[in-house]
Amino acid sequence: MSEALLIDPQNKFHNDGFAEQPQGWPGLQRNMDPVPDSGEDSYVGTGRLTGRKALVTGGDSGIGRAAAIAFAREGAQVAINYHPREQADADDLKAVFEKDGATLVQLPGDLTDEAFTRSLVQRAVEELGGLDILVNNAGYQQAQMSIADISDEQFDRTMKTNVYAMFWLSKAAAAVMKPGSTIINTASVNSFNPVEELLDYATTKGAIEVFTKGLAKQLASKGIRVNAVAPGPVWTPLQISGGQLPGKVAKFGQDTPIGRAGQPVELGGLYVTLAEEKNSFTTGSVIGANGGTGVI
């Protein structure tokens, strides 16, 4: 490899810390400083997912957006789900797709609504003409220093968004997916090393890790693979809409061995790798992307 192609990961993206910039939940990527990089200007596909049909939850921004862009540029047809309050980010992504000559299917709705979520897979099938990639990525994260500060309402929304929706969607997808299909969940370093102020969020992420490994065993006989990506600190709207305690955004991700937070684009390729047919022996795995913390 030519030395000119090598880029030091310590300096590849923003590494100077962040300004405090609180937004109301769920937050918009377009209003962040710096705006997260989901690969809009950099991800180049090589046809690794030509003809595939993907549904990505939380696909309007952050990691889900990076996966959606990567999938489309690898040749897949893509539908995204997102909360209706995130329509502006979803429309920004639609413009990216249109610039690429691709079509983005938008399926807005609240994943805590059981009836909506149970119908989402069928809606994606109708819009895409099938479904063979499901990415359960949407997440709800609100930092609280003490269990005493976690309301029943917050706990319920965290569980429904992060765990129940994954269950409802995976159950529906498994019923219609053909052999060779794949389900990819978004876990977290909190699945293995919970941060004290993210008790309810970390609990759901631990559940996602176990769910991934258990479902992989169940669906192996149907030829459907199930894996997960476990990000460390990645710069997304989760962090500025209540996902970090006040005062903690400034140093977000600066304590990783690489010395910075990750950008969503750095994970897009992992979702492609787990989706593509060439990696057909990989199932029940959780792939870490955490800047060198060594948690997984």
Q: What residues are annotated to the active site?
A: 201
Measured between alpha carbons, how far is 276 from 103 in angstroms, rounded to an integer?
21
Q: How far is CA 18 from CA 23, 218, 235, 265, in A?
A: 14, 43, 10, 18
Token couple for 266: 């750095």
CA angle 171, 243, 216 (to 5 degrees): 25
Phi, psi for 106 (deg, rounded to 5): -100, 125
